[in-house]
Amino acid sequence: MQLQGVAFTTTMLRMGILGVAFCANVLISRQLNPSGRGEYQLALTIALLTATVVALSGEQGATELYAQDPGHRTQVVATALYLAPVLGLAVGVVAAVVTAMGAFGLSGDLWWVVGMIACVTVFQVWGQRLLLMDNKPVAAGVIGLLEASVFLAGSLILVGLNGMTVSAALAAYAGGLFVSSAVTVVIFRPSPQAARLQLAGRILQASARYHPGQILLYLLMRCDVLLLGSLASSSEVGSYAVAIAITGPLMVAGNTITTTFLQRQLTSDVGVGAQETVGLVRLTAVVIAPCSLAAAISAPFVIPLIWGQQFSGAILPTLALLPGVFFLAVQRPFGYFFVSGGRADITNQRAAVGAVTNVTFSIALVPTYGATGAGVAASVAYLVYSAESVRAFCRLSMVSTREVARSFIGVGGRVLR
């Protein structure tokens, strides 16, 4: 299937976002060296961890209500947009306190900017999900590109003024979040009359069922960074951050494909939703497989060339991460299938299995092998998580394991109906 119209536009916008954000992160890495880049990565990880623990499951609750109650979708969107900043303030306070305590080896002086990022992240993430649910993928892409551009502009200004520090780089990142959040409000212009206190309670009630899974999912994705900061050094975190920067776009690409066709999965018909999900997995595999291969071949040459010889320690972690990232990116449609059906138990279970695997392998490998050990641990955890997703999907949808396995290599049927 060829992406056309909205799908093509959205894909191009996401590629633009990746390119702009990539340039900003390279600038920051070259200016801060591995140790400073490691502190920067730890700060972002703590901010996002705090946001996840306190509030980010709310977007899952809003998604479930939006899918299952079509008659009140306008009210769901308005209520979520008013609820997000309230939770964001709580998140910001918690993140600032955690950072001030020196958690995971991060300097307590960064408390203010970490708190700010955590606060605005809640609204930004909720806003992006609401735009996609409301069938505005192009608007979501444009806002994302604006956010990345503000981040890059701030980074360039810091380089020009010779003022690049960890806190300044984080402030540039926060600036992009603020701008994108403001534009989201302008697009929706949520009416206070449309917001419902009862709906806010229903969103929180629904999100509570997804909350353990969201926390565990974040631990699956980033406990390797936190454990590197605690068990190794900020320089190891800096090298690992480069591996994340190279492999991360593969997961973003997988998410972009899935969210572009999100409306197809938001159906109460399990059979239709299952077939759409398998088609999306197949489409994602067709796109991600050659990109993963290209990343593996080019990493030993690209890393020293772009980031500098000081980051050559990122080559092995990158190669270790790639197999797991491929499967994690390709299995992304399963998550929306589970959420649209209200199966929080499945999302929680698979996240728990993956998180426990990552923590166990990280503790075993990081003290000895540093960033490379973290890459191996994460890759194994992503493989286990993907396998659990397939098992649960096949059991729930009655689609054969063979058909799903064939979709992971891009064969076996039509990409999408």
What pLDDT digit, counting tens, does each position of 330-362 carry? Answer: 998 888 788 777 787 888 899 999 999 999 999
**DSSP-derived secondary structure for 140-208:** HHHHHHHHHHHHHHHHHHHHHTT---HHHHHHHHHHHHHHHHHHHHHHH---TTT--HHHHHHHHHHHH
Q: Give the C-alpha separation, 239 to 254, whole Å.
A: 24
Q: Does 177 score more than 90 pLDDT?
A: yes
Secondary structure (3-state) at 120? helix
pLDDT grade for 27, boundaries at 50, 70 and 90: very high
- In this structure, the chain runs to a length of 417
Return the closest-CA partner of residue 222 out of 86, 390, 351, 335. 351
Contact 316, 372 (CB under 8 A): yes
pLDDT of the residue at 9:
83
Question: Which one-letter DSSP state was computed for residue 331?
Answer: T
Q: Which residues of 174-203 are buried (b: 16+ CB within 10 A; e: fewer)?
A: bbbbbbbbebbeebbebeeebbbeebbebb
Return the closest-CA partner of residue 119 out of 87, 147, 80. 87
Neighbouring residues of 272: CB distance < 8 A, sequence distance ≥ 6 = none
What pLDDT digit, counting tens, does each position of 257-299 carry? Answer: 777 776 666 655 666 778 888 888 888 898 899 999 999 999 9
Question: Which one-letter DSSP state was computed for residue 415?
Answer: S
**DSSP-derived secondary structure for 278-328:** HHHHHHHHHHHHHHHHHHHHHHHHHHHHHT-GGGGGGHHHHHHHHHHHHHH
Q: Which residue has the tokens 């018909």?
A: 269
